Structure 1
């Protein structure tokens, strides 16, 4: 009997049965891709793998994880909260010689991944966190603005979307309760009170009240562009901004396990994530603005597929590009590896549109 030839490259998706992980697996199968599915729960992973005719592996994330990555060229890590799960998987990939990708949006993960740049570079391993909606759209927008205004010293990024929320994303939000906001100031991360920064922004659907949030770009966009002052924004009604300010007072309570544990259990029981129809009807609107010391302002906008579909498209696109080879080892952001055109290449994405304002001219 003829032995089946092993593919030239083998990749593993960890967290295959989570909301977003399963979406990626389904799209990969439709494209004829054959990831190895992995996770902790055999009762969930095995049926999905057998349904799609895919190999599967069951293992925990700990200091022995590398042994489970034998023969794997790349890991796409989709099991959050990534503040807890990414570190053992990253080190397992460095030990096993596999490229590492994840779909996090967590600042701490981006910072930790970046701290391993030299080790990854020496081993010719690519570490690229944030290959989903967090942070491909805003990261590519940041680089597009840097190219348009090379001497920019300030960068603001944000998005507007009606997408629903998945269980994993909500759990990450609960983990961050009481954590306040984070910005990049003079090249350094700085903690500030949530609700302190508020402004009006036209993300693409008219001016809206917006609030600065601790989005991953305050970490990644700095490494992509070198711009020293960075904030991230989402539409937030003024009443909600006032409520957010209350969180600064309630921070110790919100950070406690007594608050978080019941919320986590409720999420597991009740939150399912948006269905296909809901995703199809909720595009995302990406906005960015750069400013230099002379007051010149460049504003960039682009529409994309909804939050979760873009994560699927982005994660698979980066996976396939990396498996094709030719990229330098180290810790990279998506835009730093592939350029801003990565976003325009994804299904459902429009084209970048940039407006300019120069001091002394009419708005």
Structure 2
């Protein structure tokens, strides 16, 4: 079966391509830079194809059963790739964590079913562990009306992830209330949370689960938390006063240039030593609560193994429509990934 990794020369795309080479898989590496693609393809002994996100993309996908899209920012790249996949009847998977992409993909559900393809964003750390934990908690408490999720990871950011975070700053925070996405200020709510290694100060972030967990569970109120020191939380809250300026083109370019100059992404030793705790809590109308925790591998390693697990599943089962990881593979998916423990529940 022929399938493609698009954005194969980026930080995460390269990690996935390297894992494929080790496992004897032969995806087609694709992207816009011939020099980078050729060097990677020759090093890994894999085929490659140079194609941009333009009118040539549909033709380039015509002989591919699936594309694993790894080229961010997905706010700019997901739409042309999904449209090309619909036109060429090619399954679409990506590793985004961007709420707008999840919501847009859900809008294309009927078109995907008509084309006989699956549209499934978020098949990496964004959002497999949190999505599976949300589904597990919902299964245990079917009448849950609120869901809080969070994760504690110290692995650092790749350049692409950091740039996506910078792009999101002007929009502020985001939660779900009564089934509706609701804009809120940056660092809108704070809490003391035991993610798995003791209580830490945490604040809300506009993570993809405010979209995906809704589609996976139907729980109407959803928030996502990240550990953050009180000092950094206050710094983030002060940005609310100048959020509009953060969206100015020259400000975005300046911040992204700094990221490019300073970040390369965590190396193998950093990834192997930085596992991640994932936490969740559901509550029902009567005030009963249930918490869940699971320790998983480093986020980038989860993205590699999770994405490849979803590629195999889609190629084998040939599903269609918009799906989240847990809707396709069940909450057990996270426990099956290398480096994962089991979900522990507590009341």
TM over 0.5: yes
Name the Cα RMSD after superposition: 0.9
Corresponding position: 1:346 with 2:337: yes
Question: Aligned equivalents of 1:106 and 1:326: distance in 2?
Answer: 25
Task: Say whether residues 1:332 and 2:315 are aligned partners.
Answer: no
1:58 aligns with 2:57: no
Could you say which residue in structure 1 is the equivalent of 2:27? 35
Structure 2 Cα separation of the partners of residues 312 and 98 of structure 1: 21
- 2:62 and 2:90 in contact (8 A); partners too: no
> Alpha-carbon deviation of 1:324?
1.2
Tell which deviates more after alignment, 205-214 or 173-182. 173-182
SS of the equivalent of 1:324 reads helix
- Choose from 217, 239, 246 the match for 2:238: 246
What residue is the counterpart of 2:262 in the other structure?
A: 270
Q: CA deviation at 1:239?
A: 1.6
2:60 matches 1:68:
yes
The aligned residue for residue 285 of structure 1 is 277
Aligned CA distance change for structure 1 residues 112 and 97 (closer, same or farther; 3 Å)? same
Give the Å deviation of 1:349. Answer: 0.2
In the alignment, is the contact (CA less than 8 A) between 1:200 and 1:209 conserved in 2? yes
Matches within 5 A, 1:153-302: 153-302=145-294
1:79–1:140 CA distance, 2 compared to 1 (3 A): same
TM-score (ref. length: structure 2) = 0.98
Contact 1:79-1:85 at 8 Å conserved across structures: yes
Q: 1: CA distance between counterparts of 2:147 and 2:113?
A: 28
Residues in 1 aligned to 2:148 and 2:330: alpha-carbon distance in whole angstroms: 19
Give yes or no for the alignment of 1:151 onto 2:127. Answer: no
TM-aligned CA deviation for residue 52 of structure 1: 1.8
Contact 1:178–1:247 (CA under 8 A) maintained in structure 2: no
Q: Is the 8 A contact 2:21 2:46 kept in 1?
A: no
- Unmatched 5+ stretches in structure 1: 1-8, 357-363
Q: 2:17 aligns with which of 17, 25, 32?
A: 25
Inter-partner Cα distance in structure 2 for 1:345 and 1:147: 18
Q: Deviations over 1:209-244 (max 9, x none)?
A: 110000000000000000000000000111221111
* Counterpart-to-counterpart distance in 2, 1:52 and 1:240: 41
- Report the CA distance between 1:326 and its aligned residue: 4.4
Cα offsets for 1:2-38 (capped at 9, x unmatched) = xxxxxxx110000001000000000011011000000
Q: Which runs of 4+ in 1 moved over 3 A?
A: none
Aligned residues: 347
2:170 is paired with a residue whose SS is coil
Gaps of at least 5 residues in structure 2 are none
Q: If the length of structure 1 is used for normalisation, what is the TM-score? A: 0.94
For residues 61-95 of structure 1, give each alpha carbon's deviation from its aligned partner in whole angstroms, at most 9, with x where no partner exists.
Answer: 02431111121000000000000000000111111
* Cross-structure match for 2:87: 95
Greater helix content: 2
Deviation at 1:319, TM superposition (A): 0.5
SS of structure 1 residue aligned to 2:196: coil
Give the match's secondary structure for 1:93: helix
Secondary structure of 2:317's counterpart equals: coil
Q: Distance in 1 between matches of 2:332 and 2:323?
A: 16
CA 1:215–1:82: 2 relative to 1, 3 Å: same
Tell me which moved more, 111-120 or 51-60. 51-60
Task: Name the structure 2 match of 1:106.
Answer: 98
Report Cα offsets for 1:312-340 as digits up to 9, x if no partner: 0100110011111243x100000011100
Structure number with bigger Rg: 1
Match of 2:69 in 1: 77
Structure-1 separation of matches of 2:235 and 2:139:
38
CA contact (8 A) 1:184 1:228 kept: yes
Q: CA deviation at 1:247?
A: 1.1
CA distance in 1, matches of 2:287, 2:31: 50
Separation of aligned partners in 2, 1:174 and 1:326: 36
